[in-house]
Chains A and B, each alone.
Chain A
Amino acid sequence: MTAMERYTGTPKLMVPAFGLGVVGLVLTAVGFFMNPQATSFSYLLGFTYWVGISVAALIMLAIFHTAKAKWLIVLRRAMETMAVAVPIFAVLFLAFIPMMKHLYPWVDGSPLAANIHGIEVEHLAHKKHGYLNLTFFAVRQVIYFAVWIFVSQRLYGWSTKQDDAGGLDLTVKQRRFSPGALPFLALTVTFASFDWMMSLTPLWQSTIFGVYYFAGSFLAAFCVLTVATVNAQGKDLYGSLVTPAHFHNLGKLIFAFTAFWAYIAFSQFLLVWIANIPEEAPWYGLRMFGSWRSMSIALFFLHFVLPFFTLLSRSLKVQPRKLAVVAVYMLLIHAVDLYWLIWPAYSGEAGPTFHWTLITAWVGVGGISVGYALFRARGRYTLPVKDPYIAESLRYVQP
């Protein structure tokens, strides 16, 4: 066995990722001129899907530092790489400038859904103007990305510096910094989800919405980590050092967040259903009855029941290949979940319609962000080689 060297950034992966990303985004731009509204919603889906994974990885990283987790260290660089890709989303977010007016009814200050509930509702919309206006929206986006970029680059910087410097003090820095960053991360993700997705239906509100978004995103982040780790075999890659015990933990986390997603999804639904008040109920009414009904029921079975009972199996969780298959499935169903969240605001009673930019935008944003993450990983080790606890992580066994 040869010594672990720095990752040289296989063009085999990075170039196709960027290529797919550029092609996807160009096609999406074409789509924007053909059907601006559908394309805007598609792009929103692609964007929230990938940025959610990146920010979820960042939050998880901070949580692991806070908990002083050692088992994860062999996987930590992969997680950091996902998190450090956040700046690219600040760039990709600029595409929303021309899309805003196609997405959000509050942009032009027109009476919101006045035809549904009448005057009472217009009044409510007016009350929300102090929050839902373009200037404040822009200010908030700057804050979100500033927090995410600051925290992710800081943690990544210390971690990669330790690869050369070694020692305990850089670990201490990461562990002290992370718990302080967590409240800011949690709040920014929550409000970002309000801004991006909840305000598509400006009269609807749910305080748990942010948790719903990051429950799904956490799940997707661990699925990406699993798929990446299974595929990170070969020279200078960390995959061969990862044992079934690590995969078991990843499997347990995917399992836990499958259940957590369902718990949050139901909590949100139950409160709205029980209260049954006019400005909240229509959001679920649209999804519960008529053309969206079958999809909502299918989502419950495909996003919860099926993976829950599949992941109960212990033997599945310790077999990397099989776990990766489940992870890929969950990554697909997470996209369906976001579609279910976003698309009804576009198609309404027409139900689950399809527009080709859904694919191009998802591939486009995904290609660019994955390519950028790999670009950031170049010239680094694929695991924190001089972390003081790396040996303990490598010989981790299930307690």
Chain B
Amino acid sequence: MEAKVLDSWVLAEFATPDALVDATRQMREKGFLGMDTYSPYPLHGGSEALGLPPSRVPFIALGGGLTGLVTALAMQTWMNTVDYPLNIGGRPLLSLPAWVPITFELSVLFAAFGIFFGLLGLSRLPQPYHPAFESEEFRSASTHGFWLSVPHPTGQDAADVKNQLTALGATHVTVVSGENA
């Protein structure tokens, strides 16, 4: 059996969203990297406090949209002009206006796919297990708690990080370890 690599996080719960955002910003300014926030509802200012780079989802969506555009034009031209030419009301076999509705729909569809699957992919979802779930208190993240996770080298003493988080107003601090998928 090969040795498993364990990752660890210091988890800290805060009472209010403002306290969480504030603590996140201050921890980032101290130089902590790879942090993440957890809250029962979308957190205003959360991504700014984490210093996340601009999302790449829009570009995936644009790529999806353009793929849909090309696919639809090529598909219709192939089907209606080349493979099985249909004379509809004496119009030219290559009638672009008639292609437009399908092209529009397929662009929208593929752009939506781009957004949906792009977001899943970038967030590495679905993720049925995460070591943070080892903490029983962490369940409050889906009801009323506002949590911050700070990566921490496994096996080292986390007292310093814990103290810093408590100083920033954390009501509960714990360390979790586990195999990150």
Contact = CB atoms under 8 A, between A and B. Distances in A.
Contacts of A270: 97, 100-101
Nearest to B62: A312
Nearest to B55: A314
A276 interface: yes
Contacts of B101: 270
Contacts of A314: 54, 58
Interface string A163-186: 000000000000000000000000
Given A276-B89, A312-B62, A314-B58, A397 B97 contact: no
A269 B97 contact: yes
B39 to A, nearest CB: 15
Interface in A82-139: none
A274 B91 CA distance: 9
Nearest to B42: A399
A354 interface: no
For chain A, give the interface size range. Answer: 10 to 19
A266 B98 contact: no
Nearest to A273: B97
B98 A397 contact: no
A141 to B, nearest CB: 35
Contacts of A276: 89
A312 B97 CA distance: 24
A269 B62 CA distance: 26
Interface string A34-62: 00000000000000000000000000000
Interface string A361-399: 000000000000000000000000000000000000101
Nearest to B90: A276
A274 B98 contact: yes
Contacts of B44: 397, 399
Interface string B17-45: 00000000000000000000000001011
A269 B89 CA distance: 17
Interface in B45-77: 45, 54, 58, 62
A275 to B, nearest CB: 9
A12 to B, nearest CB: 40
Nearest to B54: A314
Nearest to A263: B104
A276 B95 CA distance: 14
Interface string A265-280: 0100110011010000
Q: Considering residues B42, B44, B97, B101, which has the most beta carbons from chain A within 10 angstroms of its beta carbon?
A: B97
Interface in B112-158: none
A335 B48 CA distance: 41
Contacts of B89: 276
Ordered nearest first, which 5 A-B pairs have the shortest CB separation?
A273-B97, A270-B97, A266-B100, A276-B89, A397-B44
Interface of A: 266, 269-270, 273-274, 276, 312, 314, 397, 399
16 contacts: A266-B97, A266-B100, A269-B97, A270-B97, A270-B100, A270-B101, A274-B97, A274-B98, A276-B89, A312-B58, A312-B62, A314-B54, A314-B58, A397-B44, A399-B42, A399-B44
Given A266-B97, A274-B98, 7 more contacts: A269-B97, A270-B100, A274-B97, A312-B62, A314-B54, A314-B58, A399-B42
